[in-house]
Structure 1
Amino acid sequence: MGKRAKPEEIIAKLREVEVRLSRGETITHAVRAIGVTEQTFYRWRKEYGGLRVGQAKRMTEIEKENARLRRAVSDLTLDNQILQEVVRGKLLSPSRKRVAVDHVVDELDVSVRRACRVIGQHRSTQRREKTPRHHEGELTAAIISLAERFGRYGYRRITALLREAGWSVSTGRVYRIWRREGLKVPQKQPKRGRLWLNDGSCVRLRPAHKGHVWSYDFVQDRTQDGKVFRMLCVIDEFTRECLAIRVERRLNSRDVLDALGELFLEYGPPDHIRSDNRPEFIATALREWLEALDVRTLYIEPGSPWENGYCESFNSKLRDELLTREIFYDLREAQVLIENWRLFYNTARPHSSLGYKPPAPRTILPATFMPPYRLEAA
């Protein structure tokens, strides 16, 4: 008896059949290529047709959540009241947790033991008196002064300068003050050199036509509440067009496969696809799926991001022109604003490598189309 396929694997196989059918293959040949019978294929399509990987995962998460709620129904009411009294946001430091525990004990008249268990604070830490460190204010002022003087230095170099000045301080303490004060090294714009053919260089396959070479990479940012979200950016290296930016809290190899499946149906599979060596891109299931569709993978050398220069250049523009200027209050707002910027980038933003013309000019679209992301008046 064969191994039972997971919902994510079934959805991936259904995507592969759809791509094969769009390329002119018969249903019999396409089904035989994924290794199942036609009866199994039609049963899968009836049960999982139209679903995405994220929806299948969400169904599994809902089942697990229902089981957890049934086990914890006796303590749910009180725990929810405690959590509602806590200020919004993550309580990562012991000092913030200490204040939250005291507030819950005063407002709800619960025991310190119960409040510490729900909030995640150890009782010995809660009972310990807070003692401020010596010369905290002077050290903070010295760090800010050095950061203003040496704008390109990070907290490690600042620590070395402090030690030379006579401070006996650890790197971790400087890092905590660095984060607390919101210090950050400005984004660097290095010059790009050419690809030489001597020792230590690389030879990169250059795109020759539309659909010849695609590249994709991840970009990470945070919403206003501090939660991380990831972006999967896919571009066509020849036209410089951004084909998609998928924005989710978490993205794994199955999500990458699902996004590529949608793009293959819309644009057709490329000849090559370039990426770095992230675990999401070198997953066995993804590589086998691309190989089955005759899409060759181009993996860059570790520690050599310039080999994926087209995508790295796009990522820097995305961060410089949008991510560092906008505050995203939730994930949905981030998805809408990033998609609007993608349309603006493709249809209206001048691109220096294309003679200051956009990758997908507005003239090739319907006359009634106007990109939702507009330039601000000077």
Structure 2
Amino acid sequence: RGKLLSPERRRRAVVVLHDRFRVSQRRACRLTGQHRNTQRRPVPPADIEEQKLKRRLVYRRLRLDGWSVNHKRVHRIWREEGLQRPLPRKRKRSRPAGGSKELLRSEYPHHVWAIDFQFDQTMNGRTLKFLNVIDEFSRVCLAIRVGRRCKAVDVIDTIEELLKLYPPPTHLRMDNGPEFIAHALQEWCTGSGTGTAYIPPGSPWENPFVESFNGRFRDEFLNIELLASLQEAKLLAEQHRIEYNVCRSHSARQGRTPLEVLQQWKAA
């Protein structure tokens, strides 16, 4: 299905047809729409700088690392590698529920933690429930809890585990799911002095930071990985969380990674 638009991709398809299915080069070229002279022409060797760029394809990270490179060149190499560009998404402006009332915004690390659930399943069809916890100021993903189910007591256990590593948040931003409005969690927040910032029902755009993480987590992990078991899901999710914090740059933070934002704030 679809067309092989670039000569290089058609070249690779001809090689696969020849090696895997023992198809002659003439017939493989005819099937893929590749001219035989193009197929026989030797591939020009890529220069060293191009090879380095192919290993580091994020434009903002290249600029921060001192590369003087145009974004069009990075885009061209991205296409040559067959990588998919992220689809543009329409952004909805968040509006305060009370008209002119200002929404709570994080002003420093661990001021507001955003929490939300995502669902997937293992290869045997059993449900996986992911609890994602994000620090809104630095965009650091603090935890991805993976389980078959997650109740209010499990949410509390996850937060208490995080409090062994981080200072307690001033507020928890959540939706009105049954796990979040349960008496157990509300009593815990009251006892620990942590406030709750519930978003209005049917307004996911008012929890934008964790929703942004959820979208990327879905595109870059859940839609790609085939999870055979719960233990595998836990291991791979933790690896993704670390990579996200260390390597993922954010345009809203001037192309810095979440870990860099946190480290620079502490240094300042």
**Which category of TM-score, normalised to the shorter sequence, fits these structures?**
0.5 to 0.7
> 1:200 deviation in Å?
6.7
SS of the aligned residue for 1:292 comes to helix
TM-score, L = length of structure 2: 0.62
2:197 corresponds to: 298
1:358 corresponds to: 257
Q: Distance in 1 between matches of 2:254 and 2:148?
A: 36
Return the letter of the residue paired with 2:117.
Answer: F
1:284 aligns with 2:183: yes
**2:92 aligned to which of 179, 193, 217:** 193
Task: Say if 1:221 and 1:323, in contact at 8 Å, map to a contact too.
Answer: yes
1:225 aligns with 2:106: no
- Taking a change above 3 Å as real, the CA distance of residues 356 and 335 of structure 1, as seen in their structure-2 partners, is same
> 1:194 deviation in Å?
2.2
Return the letter of the residue paired with 2:220.
Answer: E
Task: Say if 1:348 and 1:362, in contact at 8 Å, map to a contact too.
Answer: no
> 1:239 deviation in Å?
0.4
- Taking a change above 3 Å as real, the CA distance of residues 309 and 198 of structure 1, as seen in their structure-2 partners, is closer
Return the letter of the residue paired with 2:139.
Answer: R
**1:208 aligned to which of 69, 93, 107:** 107
1:271 aligns with 2:170: yes
1:332 aligns with 2:231: yes
Q: Distance in 1 between matches of 2:189 and 2:98?
A: 32
How far does the alpha carbon of each residue in 1:53-112 deviate from its partner, in whole angstroms, 9 at most, with x for none? xxxxxxxxxxxxxxxxxxxxxxxxxxxxxxxxxxxxxxxxxxxxxxxxxxxxxxxxxxxx
Q: Distance in 2 between matches of 1:363 and 1:297?
A: 23
**2:140 aligned to which of 238, 241, 249:** 241
Q: Which has the higher contact order (CA 8 A, sep 6+)?
A: 2
Q: Distance in 2 between matches of 1:277 and 1:196?
A: 18
> 1:204 deviation in Å?
1.8
TM-score, L = length of structure 1: 0.44
Q: Distance in 2 between matches of 1:261 and 1:192?
A: 34
Return the letter of the residue paired with 2:123.
Answer: Q
2:160 corresponds to: 261
Return structure 1 stretches of 4+ with deviation > 6 angstroms. 198-202
> 1:197 deviation in Å?
5.8
- Identity among equivalent pairs (%): 46
> 1:213 deviation in Å?
0.7
Task: Say if 2:138 and 2:262, in contact at 8 Å, map to a contact too.
Answer: no
Q: Distance in 2 between matches of 1:264 and 1:215?
A: 15
- Mark the runs of 5 or more structure 2 residues left unpaired by the alignment: 1-85, 264-268
Q: Distance in 1 between matches of 2:164 and 2:172?
A: 16
Q: Distance in 1 between matches of 2:96 and 2:102?
A: 7
- Taking a change above 3 Å as real, the CA distance of residues 315 and 324 of structure 1, as seen in their structure-2 partners, is same
1:346 corresponds to: 245
- Taking a change above 3 Å as real, the CA distance of residues 225 and 296 of structure 1, as seen in their structure-2 partners, is same
How do 1:114-129 residues align onto structure 2 when only pairs under 5 Å count? none
> 1:363 deviation in Å?
11
**2:221 aligned to which of 317, 322, 330:** 322
Q: Distance in 1 between matches of 2:227 and 2:191?
A: 39
Counting matched residue pairs gives 178
How far does the alpha carbon of each residue in 1:22-78 deviate from its partner, in whole angstroms, 9 at most, with x for none? xxxxxxxxxxxxxxxxxxxxxxxxxxxxxxxxxxxxxxxxxxxxxxxxxxxxxxxxx
- Mark the runs of 5 or more structure 1 residues left unpaired by the alignment: 1-186, 365-378
SS of the aligned residue for 1:360 comes to helix
Q: Distance in 1 between matches of 2:96 and 2:224?
A: 39
Return the letter of the residue paired with 2:228.
Answer: Y
1:312 aligns with 2:211: yes
Q: Distance in 1 between matches of 2:98 and 2:168?
A: 34
Return the letter of the residue paired with 1:270.
Answer: P
CA-based RMSD: 2.4
SS of the aligned residue for 2:207 comes to helix
> 1:265 deviation in Å?
2.1
Q: Distance in 2 between matches of 1:261 and 1:293?
A: 10
